[in-house]
Structure 1
Amino acid sequence: MYIASRERKLLSILLDARGEVKVKELAKLLNISDRTAHRDLNQVETTVAKFNLQLNRKQGIGIKLSGQEENIHRLQATIASLEQTDYTIEERHAIIFLILFEADEPVKLFTFANELNVTNATISHDLDQMEEHLNKYGLRVYRKRGLGVELEGTEAAKRKAISSFIADFLDPYEYITMAKETLNKQSSSPQNSISNRLLGLVNPQKLERIEEEVQQVVGKLLPNLADSAYIALVVHLALAVQRLEKGDHIKFDPKYLEELRTTNEFSTASQLIRRLEQSLHLYIPNDEIGYITMHLMGAKLRVEQNYMIEDSSMDTAYIAKELISYVSHRLHVGLSENFSLLNDLVTHLKPAVYRIKQGMNIKNPMLEEIVTDYEDLFELIKEAVTELFPEVDFPDDEIGYLVLHFASALLSGEWEVDLRALVICSSGIGTAKILASRLMQKIPEIKQVDNRSMFEVEDIKAGYDLVVSTIPLKEDENDYILVSPMLQQDEVERIKRWVRKQKLQKINKKKPQQEKGEQSNAYTEKLTVMQKYSGITIRLLDAFRITHLPEKASLLNVLEKACKQLADEKVITDEKKVIQKLIEREQISGLGIPDKSLALYHTRDDAIDKASFTVYALKEAVTVKGMDGSDQSITRILLMLAPKEIEQESLEVLSFLSSLLIQSDSITRLFESGKETEIREYLSEQFFNFIQQKA
């Protein structure tokens, strides 16, 4: 049986789809016109009929392949078993890349041509087309006259590219499942030549061992790791082991590796690598630990995270604050005081920026849905990171995660939004009334619903945020949602997605109104929480002081005097060690707050006995490196210290204190020139509000 490549691709899309697919979407995926897609679908309809399957076409909704599961599986098996002499362009590019990826020497053009049953000229043209795509990963195709073609780039770049290819052709979970089935020789899933080649990149037996070790170590130490991150980690390790056995090693920045050693993720990664070395009888370099650490740090957790002083440095917090200000200004909303959003962004941005600079791949499985649901917000944040991170090329996958953080803050319910909906049916009565009632019941943002018959509708966009209809309309299918009168659950979800988009568009300049929380009977628990945070903040306030240095001093002299004073007060036990840690921290990145005369020096170490926040006013300005990388003059040093082992509540208080320093220009000016009593009074007020929120 012969099925042309484009028809095979159409069938694959319909087989993989969970629901209806619109013709426009099919045309876009295949890079063809709507008319051509309709013509191809006629041939598809003939093909599926031979398997007792049908193409169900619903006007305004899309096309869906339907029939008995047995017949659907038979069609899948037939497509997979066809002798593929007619590959799609994407399939040819994938096979060419896989051959280059595994080759240890240049590959001649005729090798590709024989493999793919095309001419040398076609292969040469394919290589030209692939060049731009491979450049995104830091790779290039190098053609050696008389010898052939080879892939040039770092090992990290090659792994990034191959991970992306796997994600493009197979779901990572499906990849692991198929590898296990291959091991047990009981594969029930049809496999094509691309799948077989991808499966050949890993050893199924070792993959199974790797998954067992990941489950043992990561499952215990990071129980909230998302499933997608868990699967991605297993695939990454399986590929890494195979490459290491071939002698292909990656390089990790030793300076950043040293900084990562203090994180929980590094400890987890180290334990995992040591177990894998024993299980697989393979030496694994420390550079691999760095990459595994970055995978864990970048993973999406199902629990809310708070950033810590050392885990996320203040320069990252400053950029995150700038990003929030940028979005707030453009959307006319007040997000600058959203401490939770700041925490989430800092937690995400620091490992994200490093991943991007090192060419490490991260796949966002929700990207298409994010772009569809939050198109304007996506473009705004893309514009913002381009301006704020001029030296970092943020891929769309990373931007998608940033969009989710902002969307969560914007849609948290702090902004009241009233939407007006129009319901259309054949008569405007009966089913329209039922649907209107269910809409207001299921979608609380909809405050008003009008009913119209199909004969009364002229311009469905006029004055309405949402239009739903029980009958197909002549208007563009993107202008309304076609539903059943009783409003099924999948239709409710589609409407909710539409509402999210409308809600973002309607957010206005009003400062968010704090919702009145539900009263709780657990007063004792609240008092206990307040007492704990109160004790921490009172100790910080009691120890807070501004020390005016009477004579000119170098930066090192200032740190020495500050640490001696704190040692006398039993805050620190080893002055030299703390000074060294502060200097090392400064060398990692700047500590000067941009455009201000302040610098925030901070560290955590076991030579520090208790948390401390003090200010040192200099007689003459000194020059330090700013958080934005430029040199700046400072007249006050803010010194924040904390023990290496410290309770979570203390870290939250210090994190909150850090965020206050960059809240606004007026607050920064207070720390620049304010008196000790003024700053203590301000901190007391802010800590009081912080504790009330915690309770």
Structure 2
Amino acid sequence: MNLDARSNKILEELMMNPGITSKDIEKKYDLTRRKLGYSFDKINDWLISKNLPAIERTRQGQFIIDETIFTKMNNDHTGEPAELEILSEKQRVYTIIMMLLSNEELSLNHFTSELDVSKNTVLRDLKRAQDYVADYDLTIRYSRRLGYVMEGKEFLVRKLLIHVTYKILELKNGARRLRGLAGIKEAEINELKKRITKVENKLNLKFTDEKIETMPYTLTLVLQRIKNGQKITSFYIKYEELSDTKEYLATEEILYDFDDIPMEERLFITLHLLTTNVYWSEYLTEEAIPNLLQALDDMLRLFEKSACVFLQDREQLLNKLLLHVKPAYYRIKYHLTEINHVQDSVSKEFLALHHLVQKSTQPLAALIGMRIPESETTYLTMLIGGWLTRQGDSLQEKVKAIVVCPKGVSVSRLMFSELRELFPEFVFLDSLSVREFQTYTFDYDIVFSPMSLETDKKLFIANSFLEREEKHRLRKQVMLELHGYIPFDINVDDLIAIVKNHAAIENEQELSNELFRYINRDDTAAVKKQPADSPAINLSDLLTPNTITRKQSAATWEQAIQTASKPLIESGCIKQEYVDAMINNYDRDPYIVIGPHIAIPHAAPDEGVNEVSMSLLQLEEGVSFTEDYSINVVIVIAAVDKQQHLKALMQLMKLAGTEKDRNALVHAASAKEIYAVIKNYSHD
């Protein structure tokens, strides 16, 4: 990530004169408060990407700069401006593309004249330009009659146009250069800027400075293409999704005196407004995109679980994410994200964080209906990474672990899940096969595996199925080797006594209660002895002939869950809301399929479980679960906590991992035969 010229100058000013105030900088560089604020945010994003602390700004407009910034900047200042006096190879390619998008009947002489280079250089640049536009499914073709022309679907041309406009405006004197290349009058740009400012007021938001600069040019170039007959003819934008938005009304306001603009083009310009980044919005709601806030909240919860962190000021972070993700939603849905040209690559320090953010975007992907592109995930990583840095958390300081298991997906997933619960303070990056481990690229500290592996990192041998005593032994072994101590139960009274020695306690009882809640905040945070009145339950205790159902088929996966759950609802073990929760959440759970033809739908204990229980549905004809699986055995698991059902679950996983008995379960001719298979795995 490089700083733009303005932000670079401001940072250099702060390094040379840290006592300067905001007003002094605004006056010296002729900046508005808004422009300074935007550059200040860019500087802090850049500092965070370099693993440096952000610069704070007081209400009086003074700056607080950590001394590590001065040390680092004096030795290695790489925030070089993007603008260059002489065009680089890439910048020549952008110029050629813009000429092709804005002009007709271009010859080799036009390019040599504009770029001031030889014909051979232009020919090489044209080849590079062809490679560049190929990512957009476009081609550059030459004919004697028309010269060089760009060919392809107009929607894809527009996507390229938006991207290259931004790139050219980054150049030194980029706006003047773009006006010359495309024959744009400055008066046109100024008029559109006025109209866009009115639109900001109408929408009660502020676009980022970059977008304010680029939008008038983008709109002008789009309108030029429409005037020249290069229109979007068939378009998959949903009229009803966009026509009710405030952005559509804003488009109408921008184009109030433009004649003959087809509906498809008005929708495209509306989409351009919807996909434009904003840095402030007075009325930030999710009216236009139902369930977006819930999807973001689910994403953060998955991230917190994976990264072993607690995100502070959650509501504030959610609002910040909503501000970014609302335009990203439309970019992703309508394929307007950048193609293989991520503006801000992830630094080495943020690679593990980026990996965990990527794995947590599933709820957002489910809402949009497609995977989140790399470029959008990168921005989410920077945002969440900045938030963690602000609250003093660092993934670098946490122990990062991987699990390597050669025994198949179902056993590997169970091992991963068990170890993550056993070591809640560790970040578990991935569960890998031996072959995947040999080519694994992320940085990690320790490896858990049931077999010996060749690695220079700490390796802990652990059985695929861990009994209670083994867990206790393994946790002691790992903690002793990593930290030099053996973990033991923390006594709240002892902590209170220590605090009393060093501080006055205003409310001892409340402090004691809070410490107790904190220490015991996660039932899975330590290896606990099972209470005497809650003995371990075997699989055959839960899956009995009364809870086993056989059917010819099920029309849908949802119907299969309903049928499988019926015995538990009738016995009062679960409520209908638990069934609804399983149906709503099934596509977000990567652990639901535990082996070929076998799945275990489940939900959280607080979503309608009265008693720990299981039920089984066998289908002669498999039911489709997503596009990847056909399921014949559906086993509903209803847990009241994270302990009582574990023994039965481990026995079930062993069964699912044994091909002979798994097939016996799938092809059994009666509930009695199914129960006989289950009993073989139900012993201590």
- Normalising by structure 1, what TM-score? 0.41
TM-score (norm 2): 0.42
